[in-house]
Structure 1
Amino acid sequence: MTAVVTLASLARLDHVERQQERLAREDPEVLRVLVWLDPTPAPAHLAARALTLHVPPGGHGLRLAAGRNRGVAAAVAAGHDLVVLLDADCVPGPAMLKRYVEASARHPRSLLCGPVTYLPEGVRVDPATDLAALTAPHPARPDPEPGTTVVAADEDYALFWSLSFATTTAGWEAFGGFDEAYEGYGGEDTDVAFRARAVGVPLVWVGGAHAYHQHHATSAPPWQHLDDILRNGALFARRWGRWPMEGWITAFAQAGAIEQVGDGWRRVPA
Structure 2
Amino acid sequence: MTQSFSVVTIVKGRTRQLRNLIRSLEHSNVLPAEVVVVWMASPCEDSLITSQHFPIHHKFVAHDTLPIPKARNKGFLGAHYDKAVYLDVDCICSADMLEHIVQSVIPGRVVTTQIKYLEVLPEHVDYKTLAKDAIDCPYTPEQPLNQPISFRAFHTTSFALYINDFENVGGFDESYCGFGVGDVDFAARCEAKGMHLFMLPDKILRQFHPRVDPPINHLSDIVNNAEIFKRKWGQYPVKHWLTEFAKEGFIYEEYPTRGLRVRRLPTQDEIHAHMTTRPY
- What secondary structure is seen at the aligned counterpart in 2 of 1:4? strand
Whether 2:194 is the aligned partner of 1:195: answer no
1:150 equivalent in structure 2: 147
The higher relative CO (CA closer than 8 Å, separation ≥ 6) is in 1
Cα root mean square deviation, aligned:
2.1
Report percent identity of matched pairs. Answer: 29
Given candidates 248, 254, 257, the residue that maps to 2:250 is: 257
Whether the 8 Å CA contact 1:175–1:201 is kept in 2: the answer is: no
- What secondary structure is seen at the aligned counterpart in 1 of 2:132? helix
Aligned residues: 253
Given candidates 39, 55, 59, the residue that maps to 1:53 is: 59
- What secondary structure is seen at the aligned counterpart in 2 of 1:215? coil
Query: 1:230-245 alignment to 2 at 5 Å?
Result: 230-245=223-238
Distance in 2 (CA, whole Å) between partners of 1:268 and 1:87 is 32
TM-score by length of 2: 0.83
1:227 equivalent in structure 2: 220
Deviations 1:4-57 (A, max 9, x none): 1010112x111111111111221444411100001x124356344421000114
2:132 equivalent in structure 1: 133
Whether the 8 Å CA contact 1:112–1:205 is kept in 2: the answer is: yes
The one-letter amino acid of 2:59's match is L
2:268 equivalent in structure 1: none
Alpha-carbon distance, 1:198 to partner: 0.7
Distance in 2 (CA, whole Å) between partners of 1:174 and 1:239 is 18
Distance in 1 (CA, whole Å) between partners of 2:134 and 2:58 is 30
The one-letter amino acid of 2:115's match is V
Deviations 1:67-94 (A, max 9, x none): 111111111xx2x121111111122122
Distance in 1 (CA, whole Å) between partners of 2:118 and 2:214 is 19
Alpha-carbon distance, 1:263 to partner: 5.2
Moved over 6 A (4+): none
Distance in 1 (CA, whole Å) between partners of 2:147 and 2:142 is 9
Specify every segment of 5 or more residues in structure 1 that has no aligned partner in the other structure, as ranges: none
1:72 equivalent in structure 2: 76
Whether the 8 Å CA contact 1:143–1:207 is kept in 2: the answer is: no
Cα distance, 1:206–1:257 mapped onto 2, change above 3 Å: same
Alpha-carbon distance, 1:216 to partner: 1.1
Distance in 2 (CA, whole Å) between partners of 1:232 and 1:29 is 33
Distance in 1 (CA, whole Å) between partners of 2:174 and 2:77 is 14
The one-letter amino acid of 1:18's match is N
TM-score by length of 1: 0.86
Cα distance, 1:119–1:143 mapped onto 2, change above 3 Å: farther
Whether 2:262 is the aligned partner of 1:267: answer yes
